[in-house]
A and B are shown apart, each in its own frame.
Chain A
Amino acid sequence: MSLNIDPTKIKPYGDTLDDGRMQFSFALPAPANEQGKEAAKQLLQQMGLTEIEISYYSDLGEGFTHFVAYANTNISVDLTKIKVKVVDTPIMEMEENDKYLDENYGKKITIVGACIESDAHTVGIDAIMNMKGYNHRFGLERYRNFITYNLGAQVSSEELLKKAVEVNADVILVSQVVTQKNIHIKNLTKLINLAESEGLRDKFLFICGGPRISHELAIELGYDAGFGSGSYSTDVASFISFHFAEKK
């Protein structure tokens, strides 16, 4: 007999359907004793949790204690009502992509990429763009129908747009890895606002990526697409190729 899961009311699963069991780990500025333990428990209670079990606590010094806890939630979510914006173009391998563009577009696509503003993390954008590629997938530089420019790290929004205009680019790729104090949002917003004010927003396809970027966030920020951690050159390349072939 299989489990009778109701997708309109799903709850965390420990070992029994709908038990709502979850694990927690946090520190409190409280002593490592029964009083502190009670404080941790009350905190979880106020979050609406039940069957609270403080399974472990330890003194972190300086008046702090680490708690590990298990507790049940009564809250459920309706899976059927959840719609998330995702990039839904099919994914083509490099050779397939080259051929697809030969047949459906017939021109080369120029792509300019950079890790912008204060961010110096280039490994992500390199993984997407460099010849060598990443995890057995070649980077965009190797694609026959792409002309690419990887500007590297700490490129200002001004510089990036300037270069894109100069080489008559079709696509701008932006990487943002550091997210402290929402700096990635600030930087990405700066670039898109600058493009708007210079009348360049519709001249390029704007794509951003980074470990904390989602397609949903990208759209919200005014970009055309966003790619998160674990994305590959093939994902972006396919999105770009379909976009231009369909627009033609």
Chain B
Amino acid sequence: MIKLTIDQSKIDEARNYAKNIVDSLKWLLNDYSSDTIERTIVRLFGIDGAIDETPIPNLVVEHLKEKNVIDRGAAYWIANSMLATNLSAQEVAEEISNGKLDVTSLDAQPDKKIIKLIDELTEKMLNHIKAQKKFRENKFEEFGPRKKPSIYVIVATGNIYDDVVQAKSAAREGADIIAVIRSTAQSLLDYVPYGATTVGFGGTFATQENFKIMRQGLDEVGDELHRYISLTNYASGLCMPEIAVMGAIERLDVMLNDAMYGILFRDINMKRTLLDQYFSRMINAYAGIEIQTGEDNYLTTSDAIEKAYTVTASQLINEQFAYVSGIKKEKLGIGHAFEINPDITDSFSYEFAHALLTSRLFPDSPSKYMPPTKHATGNIFKVYIMNAMFNLVSQMTNQGVQLLGMMTEAIHTPHLVDRALAIENANYVFNTAKNFAQNFDLLPDSFINKRAETVLDEARLFLKKVSEQGLFESMSKGDFADIKRTEFGGKGVQGIFKKSENYFNPFMDRMKAELNLK
């Protein structure tokens, strides 16, 4: 690979500031929980279904909040109710949802019995998740690992059954990872919709049923092709851990799971987001799911040269948050993008420098590289060339995952042919330039090397400032992506609570133990 000459101590320093930023928020991660975290626990007990479109996990958590007992955690109340009524977890949840059961009216059962029951229930679901992880590992062993850069394409018809056809076709052309785009504005729903989507808007909902349908389709085509085809979705918005758990249960392989995206781009409260990402990433870590971060999006709202350092800074913060949740380096898909205005002379050199910096900072991680999007216009022929240049950067700078650009980016969500041509473009560039980069050394005083150093320097100073003034303060000043957010503002702020002395989340405890987290 082409090497950047960069002072390692500067990298270490920047990383250290990021670590301090994350460490200073441990109080939040340890002492608080949220509505969606509790709903996740409900789901992990195997509880599912909906009544008049409202998911049962929501109804259960609403009940606990109404009765003012949520601070003990959903696990306790469900187990206690099961023992007191002799009903199954699902039955208890249905009784609560139908208003027939008030959990606070039941006698408290002996702690020992409760713990034993919770242990059994936890064990059962965690075993299923472990079996899914094992299944994936075996498949990769059988068929071989994903290629690098992996080809990542989206399907977004709004009908999960059309999506399956398009995904299978893409797999045949050479796609390694299929992303099923979510319906517009799902991130702002404080619940996960139920059932299969056939008329979604801008995509399909992330539902357990949709996950299952696509998983089956990809397993079929993968077995036929002797390649394991990975499936990805988005654990973002107001239901991060719930989506993570659905993915773990249905064997998704990759999950977009950013620490700060929801705060900046969806105006979700910062405490809520940080709490939710903590547990959702832990679930992903436990299930062996690769996470991806969303820095690529910063540059759609800010200038890609001027604000390049915010991408680097965010990558380093995202990395530290990931480690706190138990994510391993090899499963940390750091995001970044090719978004500089193509009219700028030497923009390709800038792009090259930025991409190289990302792989230099995260050499053991499958960085996820995003195509030109903002500067894509209706001139599909030009966009096709821009995407080829982007593919070349990726191959030469050793990116892990290439989200392919579509020549019709500025027009519509991809048609079957758009996607096929994009894959052909990537296959062509990746193959013709396979070992191209090995022929070159970068001069330390070359433009590219210096540009990468500059971005790192700016990121380092920025992280220093953030670590001194605190992440919340920085966000309220608009330091990230030019967007201002406050600690007490944003959506979902009423959905966080302080845990009581006798709170517990058996799944988090077990996961922490098995992932060797403190």
Q: Which chain B positions have C-beta within 8 A of A58? A: 420
Chain A proximity mask over B148-182: 1 for CB below 8 Å, otherwise 0 = 00000000000000000100110111000000000
A90 at the interface (CB under 8 A from B): no
* Given A118-B184, A122-B301, A181-B201, residue A61 in contact with residue B413 (CB < 8 A): no
- Interface of A, helix, strand, loop or mixed by DSSP: mixed
Residues of B within 8 A of A (CB): 165, 168-169, 171-173, 184-185, 201-202, 300-301, 374, 377-378, 410, 412-413, 415-417, 420-421
A62 vs B164: C-alpha distance when bound (angstroms): 10
Q: Which chain A positions have C-beta within 8 A of B410? A: 211
Q: Which chain A positions have C-beta within 8 A of B377? A: 229
From B168, B184, B377, B413, residue with most partner A Cβ within 10 Å: B184
B301 and A123 form a contact (CB under 8 A): yes
Pick from B165, B201, B417: contact of A62, CB below 8 A: B165
22 A-B residue contacts at CB 8 Å? A25-B417, A26-B417, A27-B417, A58-B420, A60-B169, A60-B172, A60-B173, A60-B417, A61-B172, A62-B168, A64-B416, A66-B417, A66-B421, A118-B185, A122-B301, A123-B300, A123-B301, A123-B374, A180-B412, A180-B413, A181-B201, A229-B377
Nearest chain B CB to A20's CB is how many angstroms away? 21
Nearest chain B CB to A190's CB is how many angstroms away? 16
B165 and A27 form a contact (CB under 8 A): no
B374 and A62 form a contact (CB under 8 A): no
Within 8 A of B (CB), among A179-218: 180-181, 183, 211
B416 and A60 form a contact (CB under 8 A): yes
Q: Which chain B positions have C-beta within 8 A of A211? A: 378, 410
Chain B proximity mask over A224-236: 1 for CB below 8 Å, otherwise 0 = 0000010000000
CB nearest neighbor in B for A152:
B267
* Given A27-B415, A123-B374, A178-B184, residue A61 in contact with residue B201 (CB < 8 A): no
CB nearest neighbor in B for A126:
B301
B301 and A62 form a contact (CB under 8 A): no
Q: Contact residue range for chain A?
A: 20 to 34
Q: Which chain B positions have C-beta within 8 A of A180? A: 201-202, 412-413
A247 vs B172: C-alpha distance when bound (angstroms): 63
Question: 14 new A-B pairs (CB below 8 Å) besides A61-B169, A181-B201?
Answer: A26-B417, A27-B415, A58-B420, A60-B173, A61-B168, A62-B169, A64-B169, A66-B416, A66-B417, A118-B184, A122-B301, A180-B412, A211-B378, A229-B377
Q: Which chain A positions have C-beta within 8 A of B171? A: 61
Nearest chain A CB to B304's CB is how many angstroms away? 13
Nearest chain B CB to A230's CB is how many angstroms away? 8
Chain B proximity mask over A106-129: 1 for CB below 8 Å, otherwise 0 = 000000000000101011001000
B173 and A61 form a contact (CB under 8 A): yes
Q: Which chain B positions have C-beta within 8 A of A26? A: 417
Q: Which chain B positions have C-beta within 8 A of A66? A: 416-417, 420-421
A58 vs B417: C-alpha distance when bound (angstroms): 10
Pick from B300, B374, B413, B420: contact of A60, CB below 8 A: B420
CB nearest neighbor in A for B185:
A118
Pick from B378, B415, B416: contact of A229, CB below 8 A: B378
CB nearest neighbor in A for B168:
A62
Q: Which chain A positions have C-beta within 8 A of B168? A: 61-62
CB nearest neighbor in A for B166:
A62
Q: Which chain A positions have C-beta within 8 A of B172? A: 60-62
Q: Which chain B positions have C-beta within 8 A of A229? A: 377-378
CB nearest neighbor in A for B203:
A180
Q: Which chain B positions have C-beta within 8 A of A122? A: 301
A58 vs B419: C-alpha distance when bound (angstroms): 13
CB nearest neighbor in A for B187:
A120
Q: Which chain A positions have C-beta within 8 A of B185? A: 118, 120
Nearest chain A CB to B277's CB is how many angstroms away? 21
CB nearest neighbor in A for B413:
A180
Q: Which chain A positions have C-beta within 8 A of B169? A: 60-62, 64
A178 vs B415: C-alpha distance when bound (angstroms): 17
Q: Which chain A positions have C-beta within 8 A of B184? A: 118, 178
From A58, A62, A64, A180, residue with most partner B Cβ within 10 Å: A62
Q: Which chain B positions have C-beta within 8 A of A178? A: 184, 202
Q: Which chain B positions have C-beta within 8 A of A62? A: 165, 168-169, 172
